[in-house]
Chain A
Amino acid sequence: MLGDTVLETEDLTKDFAGFVAVRSVNLRVARGSIHAMIGPNGAGKTTCFNLLSKFLSPTRGRIVFDGRDITALRPADVAQLGLVRSFQISAVFPHLTVIENVRIALQRRRGGSFDFWRSKRVLHALDDAAMRLITDVGLADYANALAVELPYGRKRALELATTLALDPLMLLLDEPMAGMGHEDIGRISALIRSVASTRTVLMVEHNLSVVADLCDRITVLTRGQVLAEGDYKTVSADPAVREAYLGTGQG
């Protein structure tokens, strides 16, 4: 059984100087679920994520996260409340090592890090926790490699480990498996599933077999609007969805 609603939007709209990228989206994500957002290129999925994480301000509408109206908050505040996003284009700190990447996120546990007079040696206390996260995503052998030197799929795994280091209530994952090989997809799928046992995941994903396998609920977006919503069976049987999305060659 799924719990109550953890994230809800009301009439969420983003107008880019006349071009409406997201139009009146009412989204409800159940606590503890894995919720997919799918749709053709340019449908407004990433824009939606930017609105939810407050990297963009909505033109209209309201966002409620964990019972709290976050519409007016700054992006760092939203992250501190436990709603943490990843990026479509893999976002790592390229010239830091793998373990340093994860440690930056773990460092948040200290609260602010304005102590410029203290040696960074104090951060080595976080190394064990960082190593555990790195091992979970299969990067143990790369712990001291620079992030920039990792192959693409591994960068995504690192990004996920960094996000998980914050121990967030809810993750927004924008195409976490894009560019990954078969083996990596299997591992990251399993990881997301285990992560979701205690958290909520909202993810954009183009790989429909992954979506079918992993997600409890699916929202289909086209041209900024919600076209359909439901579990995989309902959505994939919907003629409008087949027309707009599966019909475009993605299926």
Chain B
Amino acid sequence: MATVAQAAALKARHDSERSVGVAFAIMLAFLVAGPFLLYPVFLMKALCFALFACAFNLLIGYVGLVSFGHALYFGWASYLTAYAAKSWGMQPEIAILIGTATAAALGIVAGIVAIRRQGIYFAMITLALAQMMYLVALRLPLTGGEDGIQAVPRGRLFGLFDLNHEMTMYIFVLVVVLAAFLLIYRIINSPFGEVLKAIRENEPRTISLGYQTDRYKVVAFVLSATLAGLAGSVKALVFQLASLTDVHWTMSGEVLLMTLVGGLGTIFGPVVGAFLIVAMENYLASFGQWVLIIQGAIFVVCVLVFRRGIVGELAHRLHVRL
């Protein structure tokens, strides 16, 4: 039954798969060459935020759920990883697992509480829960209050690789982030992901086809929180620090900004957005408080000029999926 229209569309689909492959190759080449051209710490920071933004995008871009509280999972995972590594002397991989599991557990609770709310109410509940846990972080001795947890040992990965060696640490971060990126790509392109897209497109219709959409949304929420937690855990080891900044609401805002600037609901958008924002923070640091204003201005320009975000706009112009 292959008509002309079908054949053309089939070709478009293959072109899209190719465009994703090409973009991935470019990204990989950049990240492999990166530490020879740029500071590894900068790259590692950007990679952690790229993962954070990709996890956030899984929810906002593919389910249409806007969470204003994703700092909760990022920050608390970061605390638990730092605490496990420092106070319990855990190996890095175990410490990361503990932090990520914490985020998953928090995601399950928050997901179940928030998921029945629609639109702005959903966003408000996620924000309220995150603010509550921010106050807990401020008071609880475990987090070290205003000081945070400092001088977190990076340790030896699997007891073998010394992560204090900058290049070893970079390779470790790169492998973790790429694996998580590929997992997110798979989630989006799985039978589960198809249902998520249907929910984003038309939730009542999805329900009328017999899907318990709340359950799909909770699972997506937990996956997103868990992956955000993984990003926070890795970040704690990169900077050897977990602090209130990571659980503060501005962190939730920042990840939203990265995703929007890069391109909501695109595969590579959050990565591009994260690198851009982190680069801006680094190179504009000398402007002090002005960074926020410059960021705000860029955000406004992006929203006005590139409504689809940088990658979204590019994909639109080239008629491909990115």
Residues of A within 8 A of B (CB): 53, 55, 74-76, 79-80, 84-87, 91-97, 100, 103-105, 107-108, 110, 112-120, 122-123, 131, 135, 140-145, 162, 166
- Name the CB-closest residue of A to B183: A117
Say yes or no: A79 contacts B210, CB within 8 Å: yes
For A117, A122, A123, the residue with the greatest tally of chain B CB atoms inside 10 Å of its CB is A117
CB of B128 within 8 Å of the partner chain: no
Mark interface residues in B189-219 (1 if CB within 8 Å of A CB, else 0).
1111111011001101111111111011001
At the interface, yes or no: B186 with Cβ under 8 Å from chain A?
yes
Q: Which residue of B lies closest to A134 (CB)?
A: B1
Is the pair B205, A120 in contact by a Cβ cutoff of 8 Å? no
For B209, list chain A residues within 8 Å (CB). Answer: 79, 84, 104-105, 108, 162, 166
Sample of 18 further A-B pairs with CB below 8 A, known A93-B198, A112-B215, A116-B219: A55-B204, A55-B207, A76-B207, A80-B210, A91-B204, A108-B209, A108-B210, A113-B191, A113-B192, A113-B194, A116-B186, A116-B187, A116-B223, A119-B186, A143-B3, A143-B5, A144-B12, A166-B209
Question: What is the interface of chain B mostly: helix, strand, loop, or mixed?
Answer: helix
Known: A76-B210, A84-B208, A115-B191. A92 touches B202 (CB 8 A): yes
- Give the CA-CA distance A116 to B58 in the complex, in Å: 12
Task: Give A86 to B209 CA distance when docked, in angstroms.
Answer: 9
CA distance A143 to B211 in the complex (A): 23
If the complex has contacts A113-B191, A113-B192, are A96 and B207 also in contact, measured as CB distance less than 8 A?
Answer: no
Minimum-distance CB pairs A-B, first 5: A144-B9, A79-B210, A93-B201, A116-B192, A113-B191
A97 and chain B: residue at smallest CB distance? B9
A234 and B266 alpha carbons, distance in the complex (Å): 58
Binding site for A on B (CB under 8 A): 1, 3, 5-6, 8-10, 12-13, 186-187, 189-195, 197-198, 201-202, 204-213, 215-216, 219, 223
- Evaluate contact between A131 and B208: CB separation under 8 angstroms: no
In-complex Cβ contact of A135 among B1, B10, B13, B186 (8 A):
B1
Contact B1 A131 (CB under 8 A): yes
Evaluate contact between A76 and B9: CB separation under 8 angstroms. Answer: no
Alpha-carbon separation in the docked complex, A166 to B8 (Å): 28
Q: Total contacts A to B, CB within 8 angstroms?
A: 120
Q: Is the CB of B197 within 8 A of A107?
A: no
Q: In the complex the two chains form, is B201's CB within 8 Å of A94's CB?
A: yes
Q: Is the CB of B194 within 8 A of A76?
A: no
**Is B204 a contact partner of A108 (Cβ separation < 8 A)?**
no
* Bound form: Cα–Cα A112–B190 in Å: 13
Task: Collect the chain B residues with CB atoms within 8 Å of residue A112's CB.
Answer: 215
B190:A100 contact, CB within 8 angstroms: no
What residues on B are CB-neighbors of A143 within 8 Å? 1, 3, 5-6, 9
9 residue pairs of the A-B complex, CB under 8 angstroms, read A53-B208, A92-B202, A95-B201, A104-B194, A105-B209, A116-B193, A117-B187, A120-B194, A143-B3
Cα of A85 to Cα of B205 in the assembled complex, Å: 9
In the complex, what residues of A have CB within 8 A of residue B216's CB?
Answer: 113-114
B198 touches A144 (CB 8 A): no
Q: A117-B186, A120-B191 are in contact. Are A108 and B211 (CB under 8 A)?
A: yes
Decide if A113 touches B195 in the complex (CB within 8 Å).
yes
A113: chain B residues at CB < 8 Å are 191-192, 194-195, 216
CB distance from A247 to the nearest CB of B (A): 34
Q: How far is the CA of A105 from the CA of B207 in the complex (A)?
A: 11
Tell me if B208 and A115 are in contact (CB < 8 A): no
The smallest beta-carbon distance between B192 and chain A, in angstroms, is: 4
* CB contact under 8 A between A74 and B191, given known A55-B204, A93-B201, A145-B9: no
